Amino acid sequence: MPRGQKSKLRAREKRHQARCENQDLGATQATVAEGESPSSAYLLFGDRPQNLPAAETPSIPEALQGAPSTTNAIAPVSCSSNEGASSQDEKSLGSSREAEGWKENPLNKKVVSLVHFLLQKYETKEPITKGDMIKFVIRKDKCHFNEILKRASEHMELALGVDLKEVDPIRHYYAFFSKLDLTYNETTSDEEKIPKTGLLMIALGVIFLNGNRAPEEAVWEIMNMMGVYADRKHFLYGDPRKVMTKDLVQLKYLEYQQVPNSDPPRYEFLWGPRAHAETSKMKVLEFVAKMHDTVPSAFPSCYEEALRDEEQRTQARAAARAHTAAMANARSRTTSSSFSHAK
């Protein structure tokens, strides 16, 4: 290709890129101006994507359909919040208007469609590529790809407890990663792990915000708000009661025990040893804060407790490293001494 044509082609590409960046910025500003709350975990899904056959789209219960809600999913009991509260009628009216506005935004419709698409890829265990996301979902709105992907990823994080990360920056392949640091060898299968992680992170948040032990009825009250019921099979979590009271307990993520001296018997949930090992109070509080579209410091008492926990963990890691180094030095001296005597 002649040099002049190459220069024109590069100039055209730069103009197109600048146009996309400006459109992305405008879309983001419009989203903020409308006061949307795209980071609610429990009201993610809208209509079925146009490009996916109905038979291949995951069945989504009514409680998970519609626009993000301003309702607090995890209501703190022991941890106070700095956020002001208005009357219930005002909240309902505001949420209704917000939901209508949310649905009308074309960018939000793409976010919903991409969440559907990612759920389908998760269920079928198929690779996730940028090309497929643009081809089947984003299409002519590819200038907004980064913004749509960012918001869809946030929804997946809050609903399933997973991060969507680019694993191949050359071919633009993406994969899901659990928010837990898997330190134990006896992990579950991928099919079980991702949905349970989402349910677990929610449960851990309820427990932490209720003073590190949560009555069973308080946990299920929050789950019910999210369309998860103890006596109904869930399209992601299967049998929620079994997952909460047996599976996660057997895996030592949760403890499920009778409240002392309760008559009739009542039960409560606590963090299990594996939860303490694979996550932290700060990580869980960050997860809760994201569900409320706020920051961890909005829950002062819990935030202070999480900071203390982080400091203790740092000290424990430092002590463990010092112990390991001392043991290594001792072995080295013993080996050197044995070698000298052998001579």
Q: What is each CA distance from 308 to 6, 242, 281, 304, 312, in whole angstroms?
A: 59, 33, 10, 6, 6
Amino acid identity of residue 276, one-letter, is H
pLDDT in tens, the chain (343 residues): 555 554 554 555 555 445 554 444 344 334 433 434 433 443 333 333 334 333 333 333 333 333 333 344 555 456 655 544 444 445 445 555 555 555 567 788 898 899 889 988 877 888 999 999 999 999 988 899 999 999 999 888 877 788 899 999 999 999 988 877 755 434 445 444 455 788 899 999 999 999 999 999 999 999 998 888 999 998 778 899 999 999 999 999 999 999 999 999 999 999 999 999 999 999 999 989 988 889 999 999 999 999 999 999 999 888 888 888 888 887 777 766 665 555 5
Contacts for 19-23: CB closer than 8 Å, 24+ residues apart: 19/143, 20/142, 20/143, 20/144, 23/143, 23/144
pLDDT value at residue 98: 57
Which has the closest alpha carbon to 148: 111, 116, 119?
Answer: 111
pLDDT value at residue 329: 81
pLDDT value at residue 12: 54
Cβ 146 vs Cβ 24: under 8 Å: yes
d(CA 192, CA 168): 25
The CATH class, in words, for 196-279 is mainly alpha
Which has the closest alpha carbon to 99: 72, 66, 77?
Answer: 66
d(CA 235, CA 336): 62
d(CA 197, CA 195): 5
Same fold for the domain at 106-178 and the one at 196-279?
A: yes
**SS3 state of residue 167:** strand
- CATH number for the region 106-178 comes to 1.10.10.1200
Domain boundaries, the chain: 106-178, 196-279
Between the two ends of the chain, the Cα-to-Cα distance in Å is 75
DSSP string, 17-49: HHHHHHHHHHHHHHHHHTT--TT-SS--B-SPP
Amino acid identity of residue 203, one-letter, is A
Q: What is each CA distance from 198 to 125, 156, 162, 328, in whole angstroms?
A: 18, 9, 7, 40
48 contacts: CB under 8 Å, gap ≥ 6: 54, 57, 116
Residue 60: how many other CB atoms lie within 10 Å:
18
Which has the closest alpha carbon to 44: 205, 153, 178?
Answer: 153
pLDDT value at residue 155: 84
156 contacts: CB under 8 Å, gap ≥ 6: 115, 118, 162, 164, 176
DSSP string, 274-332: HHHHH--HHHHHHHHHHHTTS-GGGSHHHHHHHHHHHHHHHHHHHHHHHHHHHHHHHHH
